[in-house]
């Protein structure tokens, strides 16, 4: 009887350990998720920059699609920076400690970018593209400057 109890305890303990392991991994998966989200954001901005440069014909529907892709992925990024996923996580990430030292500043930089993406989604004329892109691009840059480490 004692032996069985011990075995059960052992099995439960092992489960708890593996559950912990899964949790930690899920946690660190956020790093890959946010990098994918940011890549999608980068893909959207590429279309907009191409249009601003005249390499792609102006098309309000395409502008809107790119802007909404950017907005959705920035929105999703809000919860993709949980504690423990910074530079000390042992994973490849350019997220800086500053994100967790100034969470409010980081979230507010996200909000600014999201509202700039909203502005972009409302662009219907070519003349409106550049000013909207200036705002949106500026919002990426100011967050990256403060919260993203340079490429290694």
Binding site for ligand HEC (CB under 6 A): 31, 34-35, 38-39, 41-42, 45, 70, 93-95, 106, 109-110, 113, 136, 139-140, 143-144, 147-148
What are residue 75's phi and psi, to 5 degrees? -60, -45
Nearer to ligand HEC, 63 or 93 (CB): 93
Q: CB of 139: closest distance to ligand HEC in angstroms?
A: 5
CA distance 65 to 58: 13
Nearer to ligand HEC, 41 or 63 (CB): 41
Q: CB of 144: closest distance to ligand HEC in angstroms?
A: 6
């Amino acid at each position: 009887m004692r032996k069985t109890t011990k075995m059960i305890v052992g099995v439960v303990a092992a489960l708890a350990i593996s559950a912990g392991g899964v949790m930690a991994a899920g946690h660190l998966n956020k790093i890959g998720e946010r990098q994918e989200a940011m890549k999608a954001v980068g893909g959207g901005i590429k279309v907009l920059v191409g249009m601003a440069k005249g390499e792609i014909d102006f098309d309000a529907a395409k502008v809107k699609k790119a802007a909404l892709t950017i907005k959705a992925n920035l929105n999703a990024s809000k919860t993709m920076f949980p504690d423990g996923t910074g530079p000390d996580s042992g994973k490849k990430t350019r997220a800086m400690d500053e994100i967790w030292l100034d969470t409010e500043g980081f979230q507010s930089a996200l909000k600014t970018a999201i509202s700039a993406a909203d502005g972009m989604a409302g662009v219907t004329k070519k003349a409106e593209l550049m000013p909207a892109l200036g705002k949106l691009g500026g919002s990426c840059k100011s967050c990256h400057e403060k919260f993203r480490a340079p490429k290694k």
